[in-house]
Chains A and B, each alone.
Chain A
Amino acid sequence: MDVSDAVVDHLRRVAALPDLTGTRYELESEIGRGGLGVVYRARDRQLDRRVALKILDSALAGEAQLIARLEHPAIVPIYETGTLPDGRVFYAMKLITGARLDEYLAGSPSLGERLRVLRRVGEALAFAHTRGAIHRDLKPQNVMVGEFGEVYVMDWGVDAVAGTPAFRAPDVRLDERSDIYALGALVQFLLPAFAPPALRAIAAKAMNADPAARYPDVPALLDDVERFQEGLAVEAWSEPVWHRLRRFGSRNAVLLWLLAAYAGVKFVLFFLRRL
């Protein structure tokens, strides 16, 4: 039976639609699709609320179980997992309304705000690592900033994920250090055009081609970012002397002003005594 390309495209879409017979969900529309599955917006009939439904190949059932184990404020909560009549698996999760990180940055948020988002992402990643889970595909499209400023890391990966080129570590085997590489790439992505060199150095260290030369874990990277925010020297960058002096100056501005004022008063008094 000969079919046109348009019919094939239609069939690819409709034959992939999940049959939700026997579940509490009603399909509404497609939200997005990635390498592993398709996400739909659906209505939970029992609770009369909208949810996001992710449909996965049956071989990837582990992903749903993996994410369901990760309870963290920056990880999208899973409400339920199940199996469709055709063997595929689904999980229902909180429907996040907000903007993807790449869209969010189009609003030119401040550096402090960008670093706040980075911290939330890093905390979610660090938590997952303590639970033995790694993301494998961290990128701006997998981070959502909600309408109240809350940050969610989505699309936690499984073995089948190959990663996205610009954010994927050149490692043969993906592990926690590969996530640190992706987090470094995310730092780079988050930074504005004229970002402080210390932050660029943090991104570069996290993205070192040699996994052993990266940060040993996510908290180490976040600590370095915090050091920058507090005006301290960061581990990733051996700063030049002039930069160190400038940093010292801005960090101790009040003290320096007081010293200058004291010196000024002494200077004036010195001349007054000679009159």
Chain B
Amino acid sequence: MDRDTAIGGPQGRFPSTQASLVEAAAAGLTSEALDRVMALYWKPVYRYIRLKFRKNNEDAKDLTQGFFAAALERDFFARFDPAKASFRTYLRMAVERFAANQHAAASRQKRGGDVEFEPVEEQAAVAESPEQTFEREWRRQLFSVALDDLRAYCEGCGKQLQFRIFEAYDLAGGERPSYALLAARHGIAETAVTNHLAWARRTLRALVNERLRGVTAGEQELRKEMRVVWM
């Protein structure tokens, strides 16, 4: 195998394998596990609460923060049973229960629950359910953090050129530049552009899978989540 295109590269400084949620909880690393979960789930949870319970920006932020704080205090991870559902589903259900309870409590405090909901602009803009929004946001966040990992990894092992080519081509919002243009811009052959792109994509795939490993309970759930992401 070509050393330069091998996952991890010749330096072998690929981010270390993350422990699964179950392993992390068993080892008493709940806070660390929560950090990993929050990195991927904060935004999806926030958006879900905002759409599902029609909360304004500040209330949704408070509820999201409150949910993760409560998760840390309670045995949130210990109660997760991978045989019953994926962690993603378990977390969304837990958010729903938590936000519903908080919402009911807030309504009681207002004597009669005549809370005025602020309009949620996104709800009118998209024809998708809060659950679908949660899934979409989760995928987007997963790729966002994996791209941060990829950039850090490339900087750490001197592959800034690979990242720049990848960024210019695969992260282009509009029209993608041609391989010839990228080759001319960086003074390399077109085949090198192809190779750099292939390497970056393969590494990104591995980093996404690593992030998934950190928020799943084991090999079986990881494989299922990988199919959700890549199929």
The chain A residues found within 8 Å of chain B, CB to CB, are 1-8, 10-12, 14-17, 19, 21-22, 33-38, 57, 59, 85-86, 160
Contact = CB atoms under 8 A, between A and B. Distances in A.
A237 to B, nearest CB: 41
Contact of B231 (A3, A4, A14, A38): A38
A57 B230 CA distance: 10
A11 B5 contact: no
Contacts of A4: 173
Given A2-B144, A5-B136, A7-B171, A86 B205 contact: yes
B8 to A, nearest CB: 11
Interface string B66-106: 00000000000000000000000000000000000000000
A85 B6 contact: yes
Contacts of B171: 3, 7
B205 A1 contact: no
Given A3-B147, A19-B202, A85 B229 contact: no
Interface string B155-199: 000000000000000110100000000000000000000000010
Nearest to B207: A15
Contacts of B151: 1
A11 B170 contact: yes
A86 B202 CA distance: 7
B201 A5 contact: no
Contacts, number: 70
A35 B170 CA distance: 25
Given A1-B144, A8-B140, A36-B227, 11 more contacts: A2-B144, A3-B147, A3-B171, A11-B170, A12-B143, A14-B201, A21-B198, A35-B231, A85-B202, A86-B205, A86-B206
A1 B171 CA distance: 10
Given A3-B140, A8-B139, A85 B223 contact: no
Given A5-B136, A57-B223, A59-B219, A33 B231 contact: yes
Contacts of B219: 59
A85 B140 CA distance: 26
A56 to B, nearest CB: 10
Interface residues of B, number: 30
Contacts of B198: 19, 21
B38 interface: no
Interface in B1-50: 1-2, 5-7
Interface of B: 1-2, 5-7, 136, 139-140, 143-144, 147-148, 151, 170-171, 173, 198, 201-202, 204-206, 208, 219, 223, 226-227, 229-231
B120 to A, nearest CB: 18
Contact of B143 (A11, A37, A59, A86): A11
22 contacts: A1-B144, A1-B147, A3-B140, A6-B173, A7-B143, A8-B139, A11-B201, A12-B139, A12-B229, A12-B230, A15-B202, A16-B205, A16-B230, A17-B201, A19-B198, A19-B202, A21-B5, A35-B231, A57-B223, A57-B226, A59-B223, A85-B1
A86 B7 CA distance: 7
Contacts of B173: 4, 6-7
Given A19-B202, A86-B205, A86-B206, A3 B227 contact: no
What is the predominant secondary structure among interface residues of chain A facing chain B? loop
Contacts of B2: 21
A15 B144 CA distance: 14
A15 B139 CA distance: 14
A21 B191 CA distance: 13
A21 B2 CA distance: 9
Contacts of B205: 15-16, 86
Contact of A8 (B5, B6, B143, B223): B143
Contact of A11 (B202, B204, B226, B227): B204
Contacts of A35: 227, 231
Interface centre among B5, B140, B151, B230 (most CB of A within 10 A): B230
A36 B231 CA distance: 8
Nearest to A84: B202
